[in-house]
């Protein structure tokens, strides 16, 4: 176990690990992060795990991202950066609170220049709920390098329920038996229904990108199309039910 002491009620980091899984090679302590260099027992792969607690001020976060880029660039092996980033990557990751575009741009630039990727999070959309308010945001995340992602493409990142904190615990499972996100159900019969193609084309054309990384924009665009299809299916099902009831009433009246 290793830790970085808190400053009053702010900050503080704690990391612990299973010695049957990792062999410690070194540690680097900073007031805003705790870096471990380890070897995975069994395959002897080097992995760097950085536990982060980012400051609140935008300028201080930018300094931290720059420092982490230097650390990542100087190291070797796989990289996993996780913790409280105190920043979001898009406007959809924050509700009922201020949105700082400069902070978003700085974090996305750090992710892109560091060659990091992010698994799609399951379980819930937000990780933080401000005490005694309705302010919610996704400021906790796990970022990995491409080598890690290629080694475990089926890994599942899940946000667990909040129990003893205003933050959700995050768990990244790399086991192969975890099949990841539940797929969106699609029936071939939909393609034969009049208006389906128009719904998809309209949804794709009406999506407005807010800038930022391509992976975030693609995820948001697919979500927008999926929601449009769901709304269309609900409307079409309601119409079909109403038509069926109308035909039934007409048949009963005709029979009488």
DSSP letters of 89-149? SSGGGEESS---HHHHHHHHHHHHHTTEEEPPEES-S-SEE-TTS--EE--EEEEEEHHHH
Bridging pattern class, strands 22-30 and 128-129: unpaired
Q: So what CATH class is 2-173?
A: alpha beta
Identify the DSSP state of 167: B
| 145-to-12, 111, 132, 157 alpha-carbon distances in Å | 25, 10, 36, 15
Reported residue count of the chain is 256
pLDDT along the chain (256 residues), means of 10: 76 83 84 86 83 94 95 87 94 90 94 91 92 92 92 89 90 68 66 84 86 75 86 81 71 59
Could you tell me the pTM of the whole model? 0.67
Domain ranges of the chain: 2-173, 188-255
CA–CA dist 160, 157 (Å, integer): 10
- What pLDDT does 153 receive? 85
């Amino acid at each position: 176990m290793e830790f970085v002491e808190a400053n009053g009620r702010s900050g503080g980091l704690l990391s612990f690990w299973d010695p049957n899984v990792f062999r410690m090679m070194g540690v680097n302590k900073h007031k805003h992060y705790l870096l471990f260099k380890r070897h995975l027992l069994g395959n002897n792969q080097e992995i760097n795990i950085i536990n982060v607690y980012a400051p609140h001020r935008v300028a201080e976060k930018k300094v931290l991202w720059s420092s982490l880029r230097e650390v990542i660039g100087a190291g070797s092996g796989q990289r996993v950066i996780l913790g409280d980033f105190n920043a979001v990557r898009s406007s959809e990751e924050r509700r009922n609170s201020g949105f700082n575009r400069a902070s978003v741009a700085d974090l996305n630039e750090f992710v892109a220049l560091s060659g990091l990727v992010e698994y799609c999070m399951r379980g819930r959309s937000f990780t933080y709920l401000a005490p005694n308010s309705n302010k919610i945001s996704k400021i906790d995340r796990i970022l990995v390098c491409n080598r890690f992602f290629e080694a475990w493409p089926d890994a599942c990142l899940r946000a667990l329920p909040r129990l003893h904190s205003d933050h959700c615990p995050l768990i990244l499972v790399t086991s192969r038996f975890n099949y990841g996100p539940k797929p969106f159900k699609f029936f071939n019969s939909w393609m034969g229904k009049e208006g389906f193609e128009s719904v998809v084309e309209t949804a794709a054309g009406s999506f407005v990108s807010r800038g930022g990384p391509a992976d975030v924009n693609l995820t948001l665009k697919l979500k927008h199309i999926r929601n449009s299809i769901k709304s269309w299916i609900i409307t079409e099902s309601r119409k079909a039910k109403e038509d069926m009831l109308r035909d039934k009433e007409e048949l009963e009246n005709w029979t009488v």
